[in-house]
Structure 1
Amino acid sequence: MSAGTLVKPAMRGLLGKRLRFHLAIAFTLSLAAAAGFKFAVTEPRKQAYAEFYKNYDAIKEFEAMREAGVFQSVRPKGQ
């Protein structure tokens, strides 16, 4: 080799080699994003719903809305 010549780039199989590399990175990042969403969004949301419905009384809520006149087809008590 003389000082003025360059080494030829390896073109055979380059697409497959780069594709495997980038697919592995994409798969890892997608798993990390899914796990992050699960623990940052869905778990706190499930916890908040569980906390809300732990002491929720639907009948009491209905009675309060009926007394406030929210419903058109339900008369307030006493009428």
Structure 2
Amino acid sequence: MSPGTLPEPQICGLLAKRLRFHIVGAIIVALGVAASYKFGVAEPRKKAYADFYRNHDSMKDFEEMRKADIFQSTK
């Protein structure tokens, strides 16, 4: 190779090499996003619903709404 000349470009296997790199990166990013959603959103939401329904009295809520005249059919 003489000074001032560029090296031969890689032609064979370039797409496969780049795809392998990007697919692995995409899988890692997707798993990270899925894990952060599960532990940052889904689990706290499930816990909040469980805490709410643990002590929830639907008949008490119904009676409060009936007394406030929210329902037209229960007067």
> TM-score w.r.t. structure 1 length?
0.90
1:67 corresponds to: 67
2:21 corresponds to: 21
Identity of aligned residues (%): 56
Point out 4+ residue stretches in structure 1 off by more than 6 angstroms: none
- 1:46 and 2:70 aligned: no
1:26-53 deviation line (CA, Å, top 9, x unaligned): 0010000000000000111111111111
> TM-score w.r.t. structure 2 length?
0.95
SS of the aligned residue for 2:17 comes to: helix
Residue type matched to 1:46 in 2?
A: K
Distance 2:4 2:32 in 1: 47
Unaligned runs of 5+ in 2: none
Residue correspondence of structure 1 range 5-20 to structure 2 within 5 A: 5-20=5-20
Distance 2:3 2:45 in 1: 65
Unaligned runs of 5+ in 1: none
Query: What count of residue pairs does the alignment treat as equivalent?
Result: 75
